Chain A
Amino acid sequence: MLSLNRDFSYRCEKFGALLYQYSTRSLVVIRSQLVLEILDHLCSAPSTDSLIDGLVARGYSEVQVTNAITQLEAKGIVNFEHRTLS
């Protein structure tokens, strides 16, 4: 399941969103609509799959969504809890 790393806080603005990183005291402006939607739905989506499905239903391709999530994870902005394969 995806979640926002506790080192970050973000909020929406009319031009997109602001993302603040506590540990570096740095501020980033987010203007990508896809990234905004991922961050917006982090809390409400019951699983990563449903988050991806929801965004695909809004017109994004699965590749676009998974790439964006991968980048957010690589930057440490979101955490991905890996499930144990049964």
Chain B
Amino acid sequence: MYQDLKALFKSGLSSPISITWEITYGCNLSCTHCLSDSGSRAPGELGLDEAYELLDSLAAMKVFYINIGGGEPMLRRDFFQILDRAQNLGIGIKFSTNGYFLDDAAARKLSRYDNVDVQVSIDGHDQASNDIVRGAGSYNRALIALDNLRRSNFSSTKISVVINKHNIEHVDDLYTLAAQFGASLRITRLRPSGRGANSYQELSPSAQQYEVLHEWLLNHKDVLTGDSFFHLAPLGGSLEGLNMCGAGKVVCLVDPVGDVYACPFTIHPAFKAGNVREMSFREVWEKSPLFEQFRETDGPKSCQSCSVFSSCQGGCMAAKFHTGASLDDPDPDCVRGNGKVVGTVVSLRPKPLKRNVLI
């Protein structure tokens, strides 16, 4: 079935299934692997009226849900107004947070929404392994947020983990931790984008670790992956999800200043399709030459003769790009060992404001 879906989806959908919308680059943490290199707000982030306009466009295109991220989305003072508008328009929301601002009152508020998932980021099964990546105190604050959600009977909580070579050894512990809070576990692949470009080689799991993880995922079908481990598909079995790169075909990213990129891991001018201040989101989605190119491409040339090409389709475009490879090369974590890290290409985003301020 998934093979069929891949064939249907690879030439692009009329609208994205979902988009990721980084609503601010402002963040109170500075995680070593942050995919968007967040910290300070970008100048000219979309205001509330522009946010409403974008949501209206997405609703008109019947985008089913939005992944709200950042930065720390709850730093925006109009965060709940954005949620209200999305709910009124019938758009589902999944948002990622470090939990610092998810106090009792916020948890109670969230529990009144339909179709809102909260993904609390934790990158280690204990304080030491988490805080070394996410910063001192971040583990405890995430647990407090999870506890607030549980006490408010919020029903759609996830613990969201970016898999690295340390925490990959503790997926069972992370699974147990999530269960303790009545949450689901969501694990995603470390990408070399944002600050992750600098920490990728140091934090990236080994090929052997990935093989063990793949087996573990096959035995834990209730663990969500954001469809991010499709480069492991040639190992066999069938992981949940489409198992394909959906960049510009089924998903895309809108950044805080309205720039539209192919996916959350490609915040770089080479992958910019347009800006929602200059044209409508629909126009960007339907007419961007870059997206058209992705929809017409059959995958990396150097992979097309590989016997497992149909299962991984050459892997993750962002992982290649940010490790200095050509898009026609294999994924740096190719399970056949054909990939390689050539160098580091860091993301380029608008220069930050000098001071981090609440919006």
Binding site for B on A (CB under 8 A): 9-15, 18, 20, 22-23, 25, 27, 29
Contact = CB atoms under 8 A, between A and B. Distances in A.
B64 A20 contact: yes
Interface string B89-100: 010100000000
Given A14-B14, A15-B8, A18-B64, 4 more contacts: A11-B14, A12-B14, A29-B4, A29-B5
A60 B15 CA distance: 30
A18 B115 contact: no
A16 to B, nearest CB: 8
Closest 6 CB pairs of A and B: A11-B62, A20-B64, A22-B115, A15-B8, A22-B92, A13-B14
Contacts of A22: 92, 114-115
Nearest to B156: A25
What DSSP secondary structure best describes chain A's contact surface? strand
Nearest to B14: A13
Contacts, number: 33
B17 interface: yes
A10 B8 CA distance: 16
Interface of B: 4-5, 8, 13-15, 17, 61-62, 64-65, 90, 92, 114-115, 117
A9 B64 CA distance: 7
A21 to B, nearest CB: 9
Given A18-B13, A22-B92, A27-B17, A9 B62 contact: yes
Nearest to B62: A11
Given A9-B62, A9-B64, A25 B92 contact: yes
A13 B13 contact: yes
A67 B237 CA distance: 35
A85 B92 CA distance: 38
Contacts of B15: 11
11 contacts: A10-B62, A11-B14, A11-B15, A13-B8, A14-B14, A15-B8, A18-B17, A20-B17, A20-B65, A29-B4, A29-B5
Contacts of B65: 20, 25
B14 A27 contact: no
B90 A9 contact: yes
A1 B62 CA distance: 24
B64 A29 contact: no
A25 B116 CA distance: 10
A7 to B, nearest CB: 9
B62 to A, nearest CB: 4
A18 B64 CA distance: 10
Contacts of A23: 115
A20 B90 CA distance: 11
Nearest to B117: A25
Nearest to B17: A27
A23 B17 CA distance: 16
Contacts of B90: 9
Contacts of A13: 8, 13-14
Contacts of B17: 18, 20, 27
A5 to B, nearest CB: 12
Contacts of A15: 8
A18 B8 CA distance: 11
A10 B15 CA distance: 12
A11 B61 CA distance: 9
Contacts of A27: 17, 64
A68 to B, nearest CB: 21
Contacts of B117: 25
Contacts of B61: 11
A13 B9 CA distance: 10
Contacts of B114: 22
Contacts of B62: 9-11
